[in-house]
Structure 1
Amino acid sequence: MLPVVILAGGKAKPELQAAIGGPHRALAVVGGKTLLAHVVEAMQEAGATSICVVGDMPMSLSYHVLPDHGDFVANLFAGLSFFNEEPFVLISTCDLPFLTGNVVLRFMEDSLQLAKREHAGFIWPVVPVSLCYERFPQIRRTSLRLSEGVFTGGNLALIAPKALLKQQARIASAYAARKSPLRLAKLLGASALLRLLLSQTLFPSLLTISWLEARVSNLLGSPARALRSEYPELATDLDRPEDFRALKVR
């Protein structure tokens, strides 16, 4: 089993804190356990013995804790740096209450095969959004229309630390620009941004998985590949107040 980094840093926004009854989403209780405990247990069921949690979380014998580094990208790179000598690391967010050891194992095995075959340093899952709504209809998903169908992104990733650590500044810039079309256009190219927008309105065939892989590869400075998965547990996270209210979490 690969080393695991679980990203649990940062305080929730005030409206989310009101829904979960505390400042940290990772510590919200769902089904009798914290979200963090759900993910840690799934990793352990898959055989993980080396787990690093990045965020201001309680200490545990089950994992090593690194402090919150300020934002998602900084926490990601803190975790990658912790395992910087490893060929691959499994990355997960802390808000996947339906994750199981079997799903983790299947993703890891399929991702490793794909990464080695394609010499890729980054593998992320894409799941047909219809599967998420079939299994978990109360949880709303953000999706993207592609030529191959309508997909949502998963919250696990397989990463080669040495491949991405070299691109920390570039990735941090992309993360900072994620809500600014003009800044994104500079990073992705204006034509890429236009193609993305048109694909969601008039011409869905403009956007393909291979096109996305090429853009992400260019952005990361390392070959990146999307893994098509049939496991909605990988992509059904809880990040909106209404998600928690749907599960009657307090």
Structure 2
Amino acid sequence: MQKTNTNSALISIDWPIPQVLAFSTTRQTPDNIHSSTPPFNDFNIALHVDDDPEQVADNRKVVAQFLPAHCAIQWLDQVHGGRVEVIKTVSPIPPHADAAITREKGVALAIMTADCLPILIADKQGKEVAAIHAGWRPLSQYIITNTLAQMKASPDSLSVWLGPCISKASFEVGKDVKDIFVNQNKALEQAFSDKASGKYLADLQAIAKHQLIEAGVNDIKCDTSCTLLEPQRFFSYRRDRQTGRMVSIICIR
């Protein structure tokens, strides 16, 4: 479903749906583009991390160049919750939400990540798309269920991409986090492995896949790259704390 751009700046997602365009950035800067300065080295697209706002604005303009000419990007003010926004027209004021849905051509949905899991969804007729910011907090607040509930397409008609995120090998959490998910669904215990001293390793993609399958989604593709373990390709908040963000984008052509 995906391929990496020749200069490694973009992960192009080859949806089996011609009407849908989707891609994800890495931290690497597209060719011949001026990049952000340390500690946001390379291609940061987030305004909330204390990078130079003018540089971020320039980076966002570069991202927009990979979209159809009629498309504009709807950014979100991601709050690590369970709120979903249905987007009909692009607003310069980012909605407070961690997922967005659109059925409109010309609206590109954007999710920023730097360890959290980006999820992109399209119905197989190319008439509806969604983007989800799926860190453990939104996942625990049913962000996937909430998104699917507001989509018109049935779950079995959806195609889903799970993007690069912090992997199970790197994502240490406490018993409190594990208990939240296991109390919701005993089967999610398989997404956690014991580490030591009350700590566990959590698998965000496994949690998301289980929730999607439980909801009736059966077409799921994963990019299993680990954002923390690949510093040349990805920003990672847990690794670097002060760092940039990648973006995953989906739109109806």
Band of TM-score, shorter chain: 0.3 to 0.5
TM-score, length basis structure 2: 0.37
Specify which structure has the higher proportion of helix: 1
Specify which structure has the higher proportion of strand: 2
